[in-house]
Amino acid sequence: MGDEIMYGQDEEEMCDDGNDDDISAPKAPSCDMTFESSKAAQKYYLNYAQWHGFGIRIDYARQTNDGVISRGRLVCTKAGKDNMVKEDTQKPKSVVPERRRNTTVRIDCKSLLRLKRVDGNYKVVEFIDTHNLPIIKKFNLVKYMRSHRDISPEEREFLRILHRANVTTSRMMQIMAGIHKSPHNVTYTRKDVANFRESVRREHNITDIEDTLAYFQELKSEDGDFFFSIQLDEESRVMNLFWMPCAPFIGINNHGMSVQFGCGFLRNEDTMSFAWLFNTFLEAMDGLAPINIITDQDFAMRAGIESAHEKLGAFMGAHEDLHLEMNDCLNNSYNPGEFEHKWTSMIARYGVQDHVDLNALWEKRASWIPAYFMQNFFPFLQSTQHTEGFNAVLKRYVNPSSLLYNF
């Protein structure tokens, strides 16, 4: 027997362009090889199989009483024979097409690598490199075999960092292709990365609320002015926040730039939830209430406006002056008295005194007619466009599967 060689690392050299003609493949295993561990032996044989176009699996691994592997055998994925199930000729055939199963058909391939533990190391005692199947000659296709689709621990940690930064799966694959010099050298697929990200989400879903509260507490300890508030349910639990509507408070500074004062996640868009939201915002501002709030969150009012426009569409088409008169009434009234006079005159002129939606708008007139808050100066804030712009930017980085902690 020749000199023993210790193998603990791969020997292949990766080329820059993924062309297998320029790649030095690892040596074939032989009976003079010794490995530091069974994992090192498996890794070496797996690497050899990858460069020679076939997959491998563990056929068996015998363990001692203390859990140490004493011997084992690695075989080709095509080794062995499938259990053939006899077709029942008496049973009527189903009209539904049989689902295609993603399984490997075994055809009794004889290729194998057998190991034995000797003096604390693992020695190759048998190696057969004979296949009874055509091997894959395209190196960039071998990675799609199940045994070769693997994300290393180092790359998993790096993908976790990218995941926390909300990098998309497609962008992750581009980054990894750059690291490996070519997409052909990446030993996993986009689906593998997507599955890994989903497993990370499941890990954090359990502790998402706790992580978020701990993060808030840390910010509070570092900055005494930092404010947060949590509303608990009747069982003193924080409800799941992933699907809850986000209500941001957006203002503008002296330069006309949008400023976010804070945001809240509402359990329900009802009066009680909004009351908690605004009272909490008032508490965060040390009791200093805003002069005005522009919002589109009064859904009853918004529904009334939409309903009125829908029902008055044909009527306004028949009265061309109605649109101009209503616009003048809403936007060119300089005090409440002037508006009320114009409105009542317009309603009487067109005979719509009993219109339910218009009456509902009249009852809420102090909340949406400029004449009632014209004495307060807030230029550039005649609509919710600043909040809508914030929401548009937010949607680029946050989706329904995002964790509250990452948000």
Q: Are 364 and 301 in contact (CB under 8 A)?
A: yes
**pLDDT of 136 above 80:** no
pLDDT band at 166 (very low <50, low <70, confident <90, very high): confident
Mean pLDDT (the chain) is 73
Contacts of 45 (CB under 8 A, 6+ apart): 29, 56, 74, 113
Q: Please report, rounded to a whole number, the percentage of residues in the chain having pLDDT higher than 70.
A: 63
pLDDT tens, position by position, 82-129: 665 555 556 666 655 665 555 566 767 888 888 888 888 888 888 888
249-to-203, 205, 262, 278 alpha-carbon distances in Å:
31, 27, 5, 10
Average pLDDT over residues 55-81: 83
Side chain identity, residue 209: I
> At 74, which helix (H) or strand (E)?
strand 69-76
DSSP labels, 367-397 = HH-GGGTTTS--TT-SSSHHHHHHHHHHHTT
Q: What is the pLDDT of residue 253?
A: 74
> At 208, which helix (H) or strand (E)?
helix 208-222
pLDDT band at 301 (very low <50, low <70, confident <90, very high): very low
Q: What is the pLDDT of residue 259?
A: 78
Q: What is the pLDDT of residue 3?
A: 34
Read off the tokens for 119: 């003096």
Tell me which of 54-68, 72-86, 334-348 is least confident. 72-86
Query: Which is more confidently placed, 288 or 6?
Result: 288
Query: Which is more confidently placed, 377 or 275?
Result: 275
pLDDT band at 225 (very low <50, low <70, confident <90, very high): confident
Q: Please report, rounded to a whole number, the percentage of residues in the chain having pLDDT higher than 90.
A: 3
**pLDDT of 158 above 90:** yes
**What distance in Å separates the CA atoms of residue 44 and residue 34, rounded to the nearest whole number?**
11
Side chain identity, residue 233: D
Read off the tokens for 44: 């070496």
Q: Residue 224 gets which letter from DSSP? A: T
Q: What is the pLDDT of residue 91?
A: 63
Report the 10 Å Cβ neighbour count for 61: 14
> At 35, which helix (H) or strand (E)?
strand 33-35
Average pLDDT over residues 293-298: 61
**pLDDT of 75 above 70:** yes
Tell me which of 183-187, 222-226, 344-348, 398-402 is least confident. 398-402
Which range of 66-80, 98-112, 281-295, 299-313 scores highest in mean pLDDT? It is 66-80
Helix (H, G, I), strand (E, B) or coil at 260: strand
Side chain identity, residue 188: Y
Average pLDDT over residues 197-212: 74
At residue 353's C-alpha, the angle toward residues 348 and 354, to 5°, is: 160
Contacts of 61 (CB under 8 A, 6+ apart): 38, 69, 71, 72, 73
**pLDDT of 279 above 60:** yes
Average pLDDT over residues 63-89: 76
Average pLDDT over residues 316-325: 68
Packing angle, helices 153-164 and 169-179, rounded to 10: 140
Q: What is the pLDDT of residue 272?
A: 73
Q: Are 140 and 18 in contact (CB under 8 A)?
A: yes
Q: Residue 121 gets which letter from DSSP? A: E
Which is it for the CA torsion 211, 213, 216, 220, positive or negative? negative
Query: Which is more confidently placed, 310 or 17?
Result: 310
pLDDT band at 399 (very low <50, low <70, confident <90, very high): low
**What distance in Å separates the CA atoms of residue 397 and residue 407, rounded to the nearest whole number?**
9
Main-chain phi, psi angles of 249, to 5 degrees: -105, 110
Instruction: Categorise residue 11: left if φ over 0, alpha if ψ from -120 to 50, beta otherwise.
Output: alpha
**What distance in Å separates the CA atoms of residue 380 and residue 387, rounded to the nearest whole number?**
12
**pLDDT of 371 above 60:** yes
pTM as predicted: 0.44
pLDDT band at 380 (very low <50, low <70, confident <90, very high): low
Q: What is the pLDDT of residue 12?
A: 38
**What distance in Å separates the CA atoms of residue 278 and residue 249, rounded to the nearest whole number?**
10
Average pLDDT over residues 239-246: 49
pLDDT tens, position by position, 22-57: 456 778 888 888 888 888 888 888 888 877 778 888
Average pLDDT over residues 275-292: 76
